Structure 1
């Protein structure tokens, strides 16, 4: 089978994972790696012993015309996605983009139509949709063994990293929303969001006009690298020109942001005039099912937990239990006076590395016209739908938590 020539744009934390996995796949041929930092490229070359014919470049324009590039993998800040994806599609390349697709619904739709018109594949790497635990959870929900679904819940918290370009809603929520949508086979019809701001007051977040991504660390607190910031280009440093088409996280703290400014203070009211550090979401689905999501990047109790509760059972997806993250509790409640007892049969599922599954599907999608069983979620419309939902949640957040109807996307 002919190998597909791949260029990877962005070589930060997530980009390194992509380089390693594409190098190891027999159906892919790594043609080029692009990153604005020469030292990052040198480290990538040494770490993975890249062949001399693999091009290392600091800008996309210098390699975009290489005839051996058939697919482009974009692991750069979301604010850069629209321009790069549009150019790559117009160059006749297939595209795999880090989530979110873009930060503007209209741009998402334009790219969807452009990919269709050019007959190119465009995929967003919502990796949780390829997680074996999520696939099994979807099967359990659809089998009906949980009974009538009552509600869902999720918590995604950690102590940093704190972003300067987007709030915790845009940084963290997309994973759990994608999982609920996938398991239920539905999209929310109404959403609500409330939040609190402690660190960054009066910073306006405009979805369609975002600055280049930056992040900073909470002063005097150990900050753990977040798996939610999968884009390898988490930030551009203050010294780096803002018009670069991509960048990666260097961890520098902006010079104009002193530690004293980062100490938690009195929270703002539920209409945040700044970047919300804590957000509580409610998603309402057509069947009446509701999901409640708690997000915070100022909580040292790291949580990656999602549950769906039914009348005859509950499933729990907990990433902090690495070897067996999925638990199914089959049973029913037995009432004895005012006490409820759960008669339950607990089943735990051992799960393999989900990133390997994702890479397998990604390469299949970029090398063939369709990928059986997952095509509806591989297609870029899922990425556009999630951006639409996040935009509606952002509207609710900045209007004090009012319910916002989620319109259907035009096809």
Structure 2
């Protein structure tokens, strides 16, 4: 690598619970130069300054986007503000000629997601959405297994994402939690649901379900069931794909063996069925921080001018479309909703 290669100038909007991790990754990244941090909270800005020993003559700390939007040297913007604010901010950044890395969901409206995707194409700028799990080493390895026929004919899937908080006040448990598992199932199956169904229960805040049971129905008939709850002390981050020859299990809470292949199938014997070939296989995965991989990919995209089909604006739009349809089903007490096909 030549010493004269210009670092990518980065501005980060939003340094809440997750935004701080963007600061950590880009501040220490050898190919990036952190130019500014924007947040409405003076306390959060001060905490960032102290935590990372920021020199304010080199890193601008500002309370709004207007103060930094035309700062010299900006190449890219990281959008870590609430999803409801994404559309105007991302559109403005793209029109100014900046590449954008946005937290999920891209927006709360699939049509807005499509508009931003098209705008990025028109501006010849990169738009990457942080669906972090798609960059998780276990999910990457799982993708290979799911598409390799090792599981036999795929039958169904299920996922549980529960914990005691954090309880959101701006969105329900569906919008807060479901996107991760939908993204993984879509990725592993290489398909998008054509029908969805959701039911929920409300205990803490009127109008915001704390518990959601969701079903995704794919074009080939495969179904995945999701259990989503932020009112359950039993913390689970578990997803399973079941086939005729075995099951693939991604259990994030199992630190020793996060990805396992459970072999086993039935053999007909007379009028009954005998389980055979049963064994457990711990799958090796790369040791890497998913968020760092997202940052690496974003910087690589900017340098190569090659888009990332894995987590593009188009993928973001598809996921928001599925969530919107699940929301509608939730409102209609579990009615099955057909997912309209989006067109790029």
When normalised by structure 1's length, the TM-score is: 0.79
Q: Is the 8 A contact 2:247 2:263 kept in 1?
A: yes
Correspondence for 2:167: 162
Q: Residue 17 of structure 1 is aligned with which of 14, 21, 42? A: 21
Query: Deviation of residue 330 (structure 1)?
Result: 2.4
SS of structure 1 residue aligned to 2:255? coil
Q: Is the 8 A contact 1:131 1:358 kept in 2?
A: no
Correspondence for 1:28: 32
**Separation (CA, whole Å) in 2 of partners of 1:68 and 1:395:** 43
Gap runs ≥5 in structure 1: 202-273
User: Does residue 88 of the first structure (1) align with residue 79 of the second (2)?
Assistant: no
Count of residues in correspondence between the two structures? 336
User: Does residue 319 of the first structure (1) align with residue 252 of the second (2)?
Assistant: yes
Q: Is the 8 A contact 1:323 1:350 kept in 2?
A: no
SS of structure 2 residue aligned to 1:86? helix
Query: Deviation of residue 302 (structure 1)?
Result: 0.5
User: Does residue 283 of the first structure (1) align with residue 287 of the second (2)?
Assistant: no
Q: Residue 347 of structure 1 is aligned with which of 268, 275, 281? A: 281
Query: Deviation of residue 136 (structure 1)?
Result: 0.8
Correspondence for 1:379: 312
Higher relative contact order (CA 8 A, sep 6+): 1
Q: Is the 8 A contact 1:95 1:123 kept in 2?
A: yes
Q: Is the 8 A contact 1:314 1:329 kept in 2?
A: yes
Correspondence for 1:261: none
Q: Is the 8 A contact 2:114 2:313 kept in 1?
A: no
Q: Deviations over 1:174-222 (max 9, x none)?
A: 0000000000000001111111111222xxxxxxxxxxxxxxxxxxxxx
Q: Is the 8 A contact 2:117 2:127 kept in 1?
A: yes
Q: Residue 266 of structure 2 is aligned with which of 319, 322, 333? A: 333
Q: Deviations over 1:24-78 (max 9, x none)?
A: 2111111111111222212211211223311111111000001211100011101
Gap runs ≥5 in structure 2: none
Correspondence for 1:305: 238
What's the Cα RMSD here?
Answer: 1.5
**Separation (CA, whole Å) in 1 of partners of 2:256 and 2:98:** 37
**Separation (CA, whole Å) in 2 of partners of 1:118 and 1:305:** 39
**Separation (CA, whole Å) in 2 of partners of 1:405 and 1:37:** 41
Q: Residue 394 of structure 1 is aligned with which of 320, 327, 338? A: 327
Correspondence for 2:52: 48
Query: Deviation of residue 146 (structure 1)?
Result: 0.4
Q: Is the 8 A contact 1:8 1:73 kept in 2?
A: yes
SS of structure 2 residue aligned to 1:320? coil
Q: Deviations over 1:213-239 (max 9, x none)?
A: xxxxxxxxxxxxxxxxxxxxxxxxxxx
Correspondence for 1:106: 111
- Runs (4+) of structure 1 moved beyond 6 Å? none
**Separation (CA, whole Å) in 1 of partners of 2:290 and 2:129:** 16
When normalised by structure 2's length, the TM-score is: 0.94
Query: Deviation of residue 350 (structure 1)?
Result: 4.3
